[in-house]
Structure 1
Amino acid sequence: MKFSVIYQPTNLFSLKESNSTNSGAKSLLIPSPYSIKMALFNQAITIDGPGFFKNDTKSKEFAFIKDAQITYHVTGSFCINNCFVTIQSLRDGTYRGKPSFREYIFLSDSIEIIFDVNDDEAKRYLQNYLHRINYFGKRGCFFQFVGYLDNPSEANVKKFDSSNFTPGILQEYDDISLKAQFKNVDNYDSAGAKRDKQIFVIPVHNINSSKSYTHYRCDN
């Protein structure tokens, strides 16, 4: 069962690739499935508490979020601003400033996030929280909820398939592992995160670029 949710970016977006270092980090063009699901967990726990997820081997609510398949339909332009910022680094017991590379992205159009879930109960559960989310990625990268669609657009951001190549930008995105338990998404638990990685093809082409920015535009 598919449905989608539309968000309008209201600020510059930045979400560094998980393989990046603190000193140099390129940004993903769109929110990753992992970041979307973590935003859902945050809203569910904030509103209803963590009790639903504690017994995660039997928690259908945990499975509703973890097992949801996420794709995207994007349009418009992506303007990537290259910036050097100062971050605090702990050295010899003292925090010291050091330069770090970051990318901040202007998205001209709204983004449609498409969910594929098992049944109507899972759909209703996710829609209890999706409209409450107001940012993805770095704190301050705000998105405004626009609405739900029961008949979503066809996804144009697709997993990379070497036998069916489509033009675009390849980026590696994280998702919550199907083997993950609640402790693997709980920031207060010592267990590490369990993530699956997948490569998406973002259907954009380069319009212009310089040392300060890169401008991409969607192909459709």
Structure 2
Amino acid sequence: MPTETNQWLTVSYQPVSLFTLKRSDATNMAAKSNLVPTPYTIKMALLKVMLENFGKHHANDFAKWIKKEFTWIRDLQIYIQPPERIIVNRNGYKLRYYDQTTDKADKTRPTLAMQDGFVFREWVFLEGELQLCLGPTQRLEELENLLSQINYFGKRSCFFQYLSDRTFSSIEPQLQSTFDQGFILQPLDDMGKTTTFDKINPFSSERAILNKDRIPTIGFLPLRLIETSTRYDFYERY
């Protein structure tokens, strides 16, 4: 692919399992799911693949290397087109989980390492292709290579199959929302323009700040709600 000028890359994935991705405004015990992967999640998946492939070659200059690589991934703009049909299944169940406050609790009072709880989760069935358009960038070949190695978005086991014959580049971005048809609003968080790798690295002592390093935004998805009940929602794409 030519890389002389900034271009956009459009790719497609086939969902092969149920999808779930807890919204950034959800609690640990009650979590609604995003209907599609968010730009933040997609960029984290790109970073994961890049680190797995090339991080071992930069043990001596990792800080300098990751700063440069992280910047071009962070600055990508991402447009998302959901699959043709989406069914959201709502589930509530009991579980036993580790009390994360135990280590920080007052040591003079008794605490339980494990405790019972009732949790609410949503699992999403996606029928059709998930399309992503990323750019603008001069690193189309590298971007395509990274995207082709991603096999899940959201929680582990939420698998997607990359469709190599559905990939193409363009001068202008594809999949942009148009307001001449219906849409629904969906939280789609993204990375802040000034955030650093250490801020989003879970192994770093630095912590990301909401609305600065992780930006909650509202996306417009070309979906319409066909049916709904206490147990499920059924959407179709316009």
Assess same fold via TM > 0.5.
yes
Rg comparison, structure with higher value: 2
The structural deviation recorded for 1:41 is: 0.7
Aligned to 1:208: 227
The structural deviation recorded for 1:86 is: 3.4
Aligned to 2:158: 141
Structure 1 unmatched runs, 5+:
159-163
* CA-atom RMSD in angstroms: 2.2
The structural deviation recorded for 1:191 is: 0.8
Give deviations 1:41-82, integer Å, cap 9, x for gaps.
1111111117376126x9432222111100012341100000
Amino acid at match of 1:79: I
Aligned to 1:8: 14
Distance in 2 between the 1:139 and 1:101 partners? 18
Aligned to 1:161: none
TM-score, normalization by structure 2: 0.81
Indicate conservation of the 8 Å contact 2:10/2:174, yes or no.
Answer: no
Distance in 2 between the 1:29 and 1:53 partners? 35
Amino acid at match of 2:34: L
User: Is residue 2:89 matched to residue 1:81?
Assistant: yes
Amino acid at match of 2:126: L
Structure 2 unmatched runs, 5+:
1-6, 103-110
Q: Could you tell which deviates more after superposition, 137-146 or 82-91?
A: 82-91
**Other structure's SS at 1:49 match:** helix
User: Is residue 2:135 matched to residue 1:132?
Assistant: no
The structural deviation recorded for 1:12 is: 0.6
User: Is residue 2:216 matched to residue 1:197?
Assistant: yes
Aligned to 2:64: 55
Distance in 1 between the 2:37 and 2:182 partners? 20
Indicate conservation of the 8 Å contact 1:73/1:153, yes or no.
Answer: no
User: Is residue 2:196 matched to residue 1:181?
Assistant: yes
Give deviations 1:94-133, integer Å, cap 9, x for gaps.
12231111110001011110001232xx222222211111
The structural deviation recorded for 1:190 is: 1.1
The structural deviation recorded for 1:85 is: 3.2
Count of aligned positions: 211
Amino acid at match of 1:82: R
Distance in 1 between the 2:148 and 2:217 partners? 26
Task: Report the identity percentage.
Answer: 32
Q: Superposed, which structure 2 residues align to 1:58-137 within 5 Å?
A: 59-87=67-95, 88-90=97-99, 92-119=111-138, 122-137=139-154
Q: Which has the higher strand share?
A: 1
Indicate conservation of the 8 Å contact 2:83/2:126, yes or no.
Answer: no
